[in-house]
Structure 1
Amino acid sequence: MQVYRCDELAYVTPPGRTLSEKLEEMGLDANDLAARMGYTPKAVNDILQGNCRITPEVAFSLEVITEIPASFWLRRQIAYDEYLAREYVKASLDNQPLWRKSFPEELDVRGWVRRGKIEGDDKSGLSLLKFFAVASPQAWDGYYKDAKLKVAFRISLAEVKDPYATSAWIRRGEILADLDPMEKQEQIPVRKRLKVALPEIIAFAAANKTLPKHEKRITYWTPEAEVVDDCMTGLQELCRKIGIRVLFVQNFKCAPIHGMYRWYKDVPLIQLHDRFKDRATMWFTFFHELAHVLYHGKKGICLQNIEITHNHPEKEDEANCFAQKCMVDAGFEM
């Protein structure tokens, strides 16, 4: 007797087609199978045509009659269900081409998203859904544009000039953070450690006020190769000891964000872009975001150098004052 293995069969066909082939091999027809299963001929025909799913009960009956394990029929049904769901999502994305085209082309150039090159996604946009870890464009809208970004203090990217590029920058930071997990932090201990370490951070800024002569601008990554600024890596290591994550993430011309503060998976995150023209701008942005860690708790998400209405502008003013003081203490001219 032929041995049937699920992985040898085409997943795009319903399991009923395989059952039809087995019945032909056994010399049975649909009426014979219906009688042996105790089902009506119509019910069996629905199974053979793929109009009815194979349930565990049906799979066990088929095992008894065909001597093919119930697990085989169930795997075939799951594989076919997955294929139908995938095709449904692709079709829905095909009906929303503007959503796919709204994201910056740099996503492909940088290798963040390889639209049309991964797992047969073609131009469907499935790779974009995987990048953002959302099930549909509607879910993306709800999460990023309808103020459901996962923080207690909700923020809507619908207010920014380019929510698509902004969301990609935020999401890239999440992905990089997930690649290098940190222990969960408590707000009060982090603040205490930060207060103690602040003079060391300011001294580090004072020692790294200008770019090396051979560098035209601060950079952490280029399309040609990775170029690591020692100042950046040193700052990351210094803050990690405190329990603060610092990330440098390329932004986009259409969304020139300088920095962001938020708590991500119970770790305070300062996310900066990596193309500052000078160290002074970088340090001011960093100290601005550091103030949010020190004073403004876990419920907020703050984006700097981008047109967005902050619910608490006084917190932005407080962060600016803190940054200015740190800059003066570090010897920068303000």
Structure 2
Amino acid sequence: MTLEPQWASPPGDTILRMMILADIDECELASRIGISDDKFQKLMEGQLEISASLANALSTTLGSSERFWRKRYAEYIHDNRRLELAEKKTDLAEWSKQFPVSSLKKLGWLPTHVNRKHIGSEILNFFGCKDLHDWNSRYSSGIGAVAFRTSFAFEANELSTLAWLRTAEKDTENINLPSYSASEFQELLPYIKQLCAYKHPSIFLSKLQKACAETGVALVTSRTLEGCRASGASWRNANGNPIILLSFRYLSEDHFWFTFFHEAAHIVLHGGDHIDVDGTDPSPFGYQNSEAEADTFSQDILIEPELRAKILRTSLNRATIRSFARKAGITPGILVGQLQKLGTLRQNQFNDLKRRYRWESDPHVPVVR
């Protein structure tokens, strides 16, 4: 089922992401495209028309075509007008049917026993919004932009993804973090790999969260809702602190640790605002290379390139896998997962070496199976 977006995303959402990727700040971009600071603010908010000359300047400075920028503005204006009409006749009960209500109840994010007539209000409460207009406005950016990053039309299951992201937003609302230090976070990552040795998520997660928090990064784990296929996501909160959300998708150690370092890579290399969803292109606005870069970053932390090259030249069995895992500073199961990802091992080889998890009552922390 394809639905029209329930908000109007201003051109500034796209511009901001591409500024991060291009490592350009607002003052520099305003100067390079030839507009004043006041006009630049209006551009970001969708109040300044993207003319042919401005579209050309954006294309030259940030990338994408002139046609893309003209179309981006036109779609924003169209969505604004459509929403003005839609908000007047949107029924809260119909809106709430788009969400995985039973899954939200099961995981404890909606009251279990709630009158059907009040479901819409409870979902608004979950999102911290007073009405649909507030919800539309709030989630036109922030985690809304993360969840609906690939287009301006979306499928119903992406609302499940948005609800999953909201769980992390709620969990981090009252966390006091120091200012984010990119250099400290990047320097920390090779040492974080040592936590792979811990068997139980309840042990390594608390240590991982503490280490990340000391550099200004919040790490949250949360079980996904029905319809959400996400493994991980990263974005920045209002204070500029990166948030990493992991789902323990596939409930195996190799996938968890690879995804953590993959999301860390997007923060270090690309500034965040990323989500890894099965079956979709996770690269916003044509930056396909960012996924390959994040994969390589994660692989190189887990197994240094020189050692990986040696492993790939070796005939592998249980003994050699365990030996190489010790040299890499990871578990045999993580090494197996990496070699399967590289195609060196088949997907059904040595899977018994992997630590597996299962969900019990806590929707944030699984247990060893």
Which range, TM-score by smaller chain?
Answer: 0.5 to 0.7
**Displacement after TM superposition at 1:242 (Å):** 2.0
Partner amino acid, structure 2, of 1:301: D
Residue from 95, 108, 111 that aligns with 2:108? 111
Residue from 202, 224, 228 that aligns with 1:255? 228
**Displacement after TM superposition at 1:290 (Å):** 0.6
% identical equivalent positions: 23
* Counterparts of residues 1-334 of structure 1 (less than 5 Å): 95-104=91-100, 105-114=102-111, 117=114, 122-123=117-118, 125-141=120-136, 143-144=138-139, 148-150=140-142, 156=148, 158-160=153-155, 162-183=157-178, 185-186=179-180, 190-205=181-196, 207-208=197-198, 211=199, 229-265=202-238, 266-297=240-271, 300-306=272-278, 307-308=280-281, 310-311=284-285, 312-329=287-304, 330-331=329-330, 332-333=335-336, 334=338
Consecutive unaligned residues of structure 2, counting only runs of 5 or more, are: 1-87, 305-328, 339-369
Measured against aligned partners, the alpha-carbon deviations of 1:103-161 in whole angstroms (never above 9, x if no partner) come to: 111212222122764xx9952511211211234335434554xxx22279776364355
SS in 1 for 2:99: coil
Partner amino acid, structure 2, of 1:100: S
User: Alpha carbons of 1:163 and 1:123: their partners in 2 closer, same or farther (altered >3 Å)?
Assistant: same
User: In structure 1, how many angstroms separate the alpha carbons of the residues matched to 2:221 and 2:213?
Assistant: 14
SS in 1 for 2:129: coil
CA contact (8 A) 2:265 2:294 kept: yes
Consecutive unaligned residues of structure 1, counting only runs of 5 or more, are: 1-90, 213-227
User: Alpha carbons of 1:272 and 1:115: their partners in 2 closer, same or farther (altered >3 Å)?
Assistant: same
Partner amino acid, structure 2, of 1:260: A
Equivalent position of 2:309 in the other structure: none
CA contact (8 A) 1:149 1:156 kept: no
CA contact (8 A) 2:160 2:226 kept: no
RMSD after superposition: 3.0
Rg larger for = 1
CA contact (8 A) 2:129 2:135 kept: yes
User: Alpha carbons of 1:179 and 1:106: their partners in 2 closer, same or farther (altered >3 Å)?
Assistant: farther
User: In structure 2, how many angstroms separate the alpha carbons of the residues matched to 1:246 and 1:169?
Assistant: 14
User: Alpha carbons of 1:159 and 1:289: their partners in 2 closer, same or farther (altered >3 Å)?
Assistant: same
* Aligned positions, number: 214
**Displacement after TM superposition at 1:229 (Å):** 2.1
User: In structure 2, how many angstroms separate the alpha carbons of the residues matched to 1:293 and 1:167?
Assistant: 20
SS in 2 for 1:258: strand
Partner amino acid, structure 1, of 2:142: K
User: Alpha carbons of 1:165 and 1:328: their partners in 2 closer, same or farther (altered >3 Å)?
Assistant: same
TM-score using structure 1 length:
0.56
**Displacement after TM superposition at 1:254 (Å):** 0.9
CA contact (8 A) 1:115 1:128 kept: no
CA contact (8 A) 2:177 2:214 kept: no
**Displacement after TM superposition at 1:314 (Å):** 1.4
SS in 1 for 2:220: strand
Measured against aligned partners, the alpha-carbon deviations of 1:253-277 in whole angstroms (never above 9, x if no partner) come to: 3112110011113211110014542
User: Alpha carbons of 1:126 and 1:151: their partners in 2 closer, same or farther (altered >3 Å)?
Assistant: closer
**Displacement after TM superposition at 1:315 (Å):** 1.4
TM-score using structure 2 length:
0.51
